[in-house]
């Protein structure tokens, strides 16, 4: 999965991490945006933010190392209040999570009384505590429809909100948050590429709307993988974080990946060195304040309960391939 010279370079660190993992009874979870030496070299479980939340809910390890960003580690802590959760670099944040505060959610509720609030998992625990349910890009439609309300508030990502609205009859009230990585893609990137190649273009729902409209497929990181596995195009362009292509290419060497991608500086704070260090020191630990944790946990659990349904399973498998296409149920 990683080249021979890379393997030799990383081997001493990987060996240290494996030894510490066993000594600490630890498990390593890695998001799809982690570098290949982490994703294929030391991770026990890998996936999108929904899969990582589910894995975090089911582990019986003493220690969870979250190779991702802070909101993912907080979600793991909410689901495992008595386990040690480590985030190898405590500065690994997320522009979306920073785009909304608890008081913004309270103000939205004041302006739209009685309308339920759903927050994207890319939010702080304090924001989750103000919301009725949480969602990820893999299950946003299922969560929105499960609340039995003609209108819902969906925060903070504006593009995910519009993507979700295009797939449901529920009216969506959105917020103005953006991902600093996905908002850098433009529709003209796709137009220029189409003039040169016949690559299959897959975009994350955090991309701007015109990018989503121009893409062949729009879906979460797990949806993209499912779509590539089913379709096996000769060449593909993933409009998302750069490491996604590297990680999928290792599993699908038959697909040629084009590389105009963008890096997430937050995800890239996680390295083999700081994974080893955090296992050695059992720090930095992620804690969620007592006044926030029970309500935030309720929002996350509601998502996990609601999405254990066939509809959610369909949505997660990437059944919808064009913006506006029905989910097929």
Q: Which residues bind ligand 13P (CB under 6 A)?
A: 32, 48-49, 122, 136-138, 179, 204, 206, 220-221
- 48 makes contact, choosing from ligand SF4, ligand 13P, none, with CB < 5 to 8 Å by partner type, with ligand 13P
DSSP string, 213-242: HHSSEE--HHHHHHHHHHH--SEEEEESBH
Beta strands in the chain (DSSP E): 26-31, 45-47, 63-67, 84-86, 117-120, 133-135, 151-155, 171-174, 200-203, 217-218, 235-239, 256-258
Q: 84 or 222, CB closer to ligand 13P?
A: 222
Task: Specify burial of residue 116 (Cβ count, 10 A radius: 0-12, 13-18, 19+).
Answer: middle
Judged by beta carbon, residue 179 or residue 214, the one nearer ligand 13P is: 179
Give the one entry of ligand SF4, ligand 13P, none that residue 35 binds, where binding means its C-beta sits below a cut-off of 5 to 8 angstroms depending on kind: none
Nearest distance from C-beta of residue 23 to ligand 13P, angstroms: 30
136 binding partner (options ligand 13P, ligand SF4, none; Cβ < 5 to 8 Å by kind): ligand 13P
d(CA 134, CA 269): 26
- Measured from the CB atom, the residue of 16 and 316 that comes closer to ligand 13P is 316
Picked from ligand 13P, ligand SF4, none, the partner binding residue 220 (CB below 5 to 8 A depending on kind) is ligand 13P
Q: Compute the least distance from the CB of residue 12 to ligand SF4, in Å.
A: 29
Query: Measured from the CB of residue 154, what is the shortest distance to ligand SF4 in angstroms?
Result: 15
**In terms of CB distance, is 118 or 179 closer to ligand 13P?**
179
Going from the C-alpha of 143 to that of each of 6, 102, 135, 250, 295, the distances in angstroms are 41, 21, 6, 32, 17
State the minimum distance, in angstroms, from the CB of residue 125 to ligand SF4: 15
DSSP per residue over 169-191, as a string?
SSEEEE--B--TTGGG--HHHHH
Classify residue 270 by burial, with Cβ atoms within 10 Å: 0-12, 13-18, 19+: buried
Provide the binding-site residues for ligand SF4, judged by CB under 6 A: 69, 94-96, 122, 179-181, 206, 241, 264, 266-267
Q: Shortest Cβ contact with ligand 13P: which residue?
A: 48
Nearest residue (CB) to ligand 13P, 33 versus 200: 33
Beta-bridge partner residues of 239 = 203
* CA dist 244 → 96, 112, 264 (Å): 19, 38, 11
| Contacted entry of ligand 13P, ligand SF4, none for residue 137, CB cut-off 5 to 8 Å set by kind | ligand 13P
266 binds, among ligand SF4, ligand 13P, none (CB under 5 to 8 A by kind): ligand SF4
Write down the least CB distance from residue 264 to ligand 13P, Å: 7
Residue identified by tokens 């630890």 is 26
Least distance between ligand SF4 and beta carbon 96 (Å): 4
- Could you tell me the smallest distance in angstroms from the CB atom of residue 24 to ligand 13P? 26
């Amino acid at each position: 999965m990683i080249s021979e010279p890379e393997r030799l370079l990383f081997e001493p660190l990987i060996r240290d991490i494996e030894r510490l993992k066993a000594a600490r009874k630890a498990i390593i979870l890695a998001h799809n945006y982690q570098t290949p030496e982490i994703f294929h070299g030391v991770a026990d479980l890998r996936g999108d933010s929904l899969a990582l939340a589910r894995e975090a809910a089911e582990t019986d390890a003493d220690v969870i190392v979250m190779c991702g960003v802070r909101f993912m580690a907080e979600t793991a802590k909410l689901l495992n209040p008595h386990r040690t959760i480590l985030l190898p670099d405590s500065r690994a944040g997320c522009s979306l999570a920073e785009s909304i505060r608890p008081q913004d959610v309270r103000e939205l509720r004041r302006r739209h009384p009685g309308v339920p609030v759903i927050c994207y998992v890319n939010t702080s625990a304090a924001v989750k505590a103000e919301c009725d349910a949480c969602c990820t890009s893999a299950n946003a439609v299922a969560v929105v429809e499960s609340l039995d309300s003609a209108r819902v508030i969906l925060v903070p990502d504006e593009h995910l909100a519009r993507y979700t609205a295009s797939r449901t009859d529920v009216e969506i009230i959105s917020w103005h948050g953006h991902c600093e990585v996905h908002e850098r893609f433009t529709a003209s990137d796709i137009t220029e590429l189409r003039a040169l190649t016949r690559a299959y273009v897959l975009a994350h729902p955090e991309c701007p709307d015109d990018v989503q409209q121009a893409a062949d497929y729009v879906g979460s990181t797990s949806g993209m993988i499912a779509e590539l596995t089913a379709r096996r195009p000769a060449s593909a362009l993933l409009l998302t974080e750069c490491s996604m292509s590297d990680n999928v290419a290792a599993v699908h060497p038959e697909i040629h990946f084009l590389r105009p991608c963008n890096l997430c500086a937050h995800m890239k704070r996680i390295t083999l060195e700081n994974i080893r260090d955090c296992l050695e020191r059992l720090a930095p630990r992620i804690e969620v304040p007592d006044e926030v944790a029970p309500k935030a946990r309720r929002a996350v659990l509601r998502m996990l309960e609601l999405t254990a349904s066939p509809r959610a399973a369909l949505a997660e498998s990437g059944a919808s391939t064009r913006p506006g296409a029905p989910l097929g149920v």
